[in-house]
Amino acid sequence: MRARPHHLIDIVTQIGGGAAFTPHAYGHAVHLVAAEVMADPDLTVTFVVGADDICEPCIHLVEGLEGAHCDDVLRQFDPPISKQDYNDDLDRRLLEFLGLCEGQALTFRDYLVLIRERFSGIEEICTHPGEDLTSRRNKLNRGLETFGV
């Protein structure tokens, strides 16, 4: 599986918040990837900065001169910014924070252990605009506990 680091953290956080995984109107595969990692935490994940297995079926993933990219915009920023640019920056910061490199592979379980080991401060990187830091940290913590980490 190819995954953006923040996508997996979002999945674990959603699990910790008790939210259900259902198909999204954009057609992305969050619900499918969540089911995969919940069913097999020993699944190998290769970390990418760019389109991953979640992005592949999304209606906002378009082909361009430099390959596939997201054409969605984050309108909660003033001025609005490209979701591609925001997420690429987020994933680069996460990889650095966790001591990982793009293209590196780990099992999902080992990724969760690494997140637990470096838990302090990760919510400051992962919290989305308008989201409460404490709530994000608590949901991520509960999600990790769900996996026994």
End-to-end CA distance of the chain: 21
Structure tokens belonging to residue 54: 């979640």
The model's pLDDT over 104-133, given as tens digits with 9 standing for 90+, comes to: 999 999 999 999 999 999 989 998 778 899
Looking at residue 76, its pLDDT comes to: 86
Cα angle 135, 139, 141 (rounded to 5 degrees) comes to 115
Cα distance between residue 15 and residue 79, in whole Å: 31
Q: What are phi and psi of 23, to 5 degrees?
A: -55, 145
Structure tokens belonging to residue 92: 């680069």
Per-residue pLDDT, averaged over 14-36, amounts to 96
Entry pTM: 0.94
Looking at residue 98, its pLDDT comes to: 97
Residue pointed to by tokens 């919510």: 123
The model's pLDDT over 127-140, given as tens digits with 9 standing for 90+, comes to: 877 889 999 999 99
Mean pLDDT of the chain: 95
| Strand-strand pairing, 61-64 and 105-107 | unpaired
The model's pLDDT over 49-89, given as tens digits with 9 standing for 90+, comes to: 999 999 999 999 998 777 899 999 999 888 999 999 999 99
